[in-house]
Structure formats: C-alpha cells, structure tokens
Amino acid sequence: MSTTLPTSKASNQPPRKILVLGATSGIAEATCRIWAAQGASLFLVARNAEKLAAVAADLRTRGASYVDTAVADLDDTDKHPELLAHAVNSLTGMDIAYLAHGILGDQAEAEQNFNTAAQILYTNFMAPVSLLTWLANFCVQRRSGVLAVLSSVAGDRGRKSNYVYGSSKAGLSAFLAGLRNRVDREGVTVLTIKPGPTRTAMTAAMPKSEKFADVDSVAESIVSAIDKRRDVLYVPFQWQPIMFIIRNLPERIFKKLNL
C-alpha cells in the first residue's frame, strides 16, 4: 500500500473522502479524474498492482488531496471486512463508496459451462453484495454516505446475447433497490448507475464500439447524479425511455427478437 500525505487545497469545503472499488475500470478512472480535479481524498482498490499505481500517480498529478491504494482481488469476499476497515481508516471516514469492478464474461461459454456462469455471477453480484453489506452498515451507523454502484441497462431484461451478465446485474439492481428502501430513512443514499454501452476496455472488442458512449461524459453524469443524491441513473439519458420500451414489450414478441 502506498500513501501520499494530504496537501492543502484552496477550498471552503473539506475534501470529500471517496473509496473506489475497481479503480482501474475505464468508467471509474474517468470518474476519479473529475474527483481528483475537485481535490478529493481517494482510496483506490484494484487487483492489478501496476495499473493501480499508474492510476494513482495520474490522480495525484490531477489534484487529488490524498491518494492511498490497496491491491485486492474483490472475489476474495473473506477479506472484505479487513480491506474496507483499512480503507475508511486511511481516509479517516468515507463520504462516497463507488463500486465499479465487474466482468462481461463469455456468454457462449457460460451457456455450456456452469463454472463460467457462476464466475460472472460471483464477481458481478456476490462480491458487491458482500462489499455493500459492510459499507451500508458503516454508513447507517454514521447516518451519512453515498453508495454509488455500477449496474447496467443489461439488467433490465434478459436477452439471449448476454443474459448471464444481464442476470448478474438484474440481481445487483434488485439488491440495491431493497438496500435503498432500508437505508434511505437512515440518511444514506444508494445510487444505482445503469450505463448503456460505453467505450472502455470491456467493450473494445464489440462491433461498432466506436459508436458507444464517451466514457468522460458518462463519468460527468455519474458525478452529477451523486452530487444530487439521485436514486437511479440511466446514462446516457436516452437509455431510460429505451429500456422502458424493452421492459414492457410482451414476452410473445420479445422472445422472437434477436437482441
């Protein structure tokens, strides 16, 4: 773990304390660039030490007032309590937890091999549930905090092209809705973020990925939704009406479509 000492920044507000899980994700990196320019204090967790060090160094040069890091495979749920306690101790508190890690997985392989499907479900659903259980209780105790989590439009309806990934995100979105219903009255905000296809490493090999949403504008919308303490964010915004239609198509029509 590496630490930079806090530096003073000209601002009336104390720097926000932000924990980022999956900090080397394309969407998380773009979001952190905005927070760094605002002078935030960041604790970054990722499993690739080299990439994590590069992201941390970049965020320091962009103005983050404090950056600490931990290398962790977030599938290792047994280690979550220790990791999270260390992170909030390092930040001396926590205003925002941002969960960004995830895998797309191989749908064709998952159709044949349960272990592949189980891995997608574990990384995208079980690991976030473990993290959020600890984080929600931490925030409820303090009656404050924002839990901002990257789910996906893919969770709104199962489609043949990616229903294993989609079901992991559907489970996550349902968990977040229930968690919000529990902790909103305790002063804690739960933001479900549902990006449409966005240009990152995850989508780079997909056809027409050059037409996907720009990661920096997705990140701007996420920062703004957190600041406004919103509940659910579709980003870009047009995915909200599109998914409304897709969710409401009758099954007898939907099952014939090639989506």
Ligand X SMILES: NC(=O)c1ccc[n+]([C@@H]2O[C@H](COP(=O)([O-])OP(=O)(O)OC[C@H]3O[C@@H](n4cnc5c(N)ncnc54)[C@H](OP(=O)(O)O)[C@@H]3O)[C@@H](O)[C@H]2O)c1
In the complex, the residues that contact ligand X under the rule CB under 6 A are 22, 24-27, 46-48, 51, 73-75, 100-103, 123, 150, 152, 195, 197-198, 200-203
- To ligand X, the closest distance from the beta carbon of 150 in angstroms equals 4
- To ligand X, the closest distance from the beta carbon of 6 in angstroms equals 26
* CA-to-CA separations, 64 to 37, 146, 198, in angstroms, rounded: 6, 19, 25
**Look-up of token digits 């056809």:** 207
- To ligand X, the closest distance from the beta carbon of 148 in angstroms equals 11
- To ligand X, the closest distance from the beta carbon of 104 in angstroms equals 7
Asked whether the beta carbons of 97 and 133 are under 8 A apart, the reply is: no
103 versus 140: smaller Cβ distance to ligand X: 103
Whether 66 sits among the annotated catalytic residues: the reply is: no
- Token readout for 62 is 């962009």
91 versus 213: smaller Cβ distance to ligand X: 213
Each as own residue / partner, the long-range contacts of residues 69-73 (CB below 8 Å, 24 or more positions apart, any chain) are: 69/1, 69/2, 69/23, 69/43, 69/44, 69/45, 70/1, 70/43, 70/44, 70/45, 71/1, 71/45, 71/46, 71/47, 72/45, 72/46, 72/47, 73/47
Which residue has the closest beta carbon to ligand X? 102
Q: Which one of the listed residues 66, 163, 165, 234 is annotated catalytic? A: 165
* CA-to-CA separations, 125 to 75, 101, 103, 165, 246, in angstroms, rounded: 10, 10, 10, 10, 23
- To ligand X, the closest distance from the beta carbon of 251 in angstroms equals 24
94 versus 243: smaller Cβ distance to ligand X: 243
123 versus 167: smaller Cβ distance to ligand X: 123
15 versus 148: smaller Cβ distance to ligand X: 148
* CA-to-CA separations, 74 to 71, 103, 179, in angstroms, rounded: 9, 12, 20
Q: 229's torsion region: left (phi>0), alpha (psi -120 to 50) or beta?
A: left
Active site residues: 165
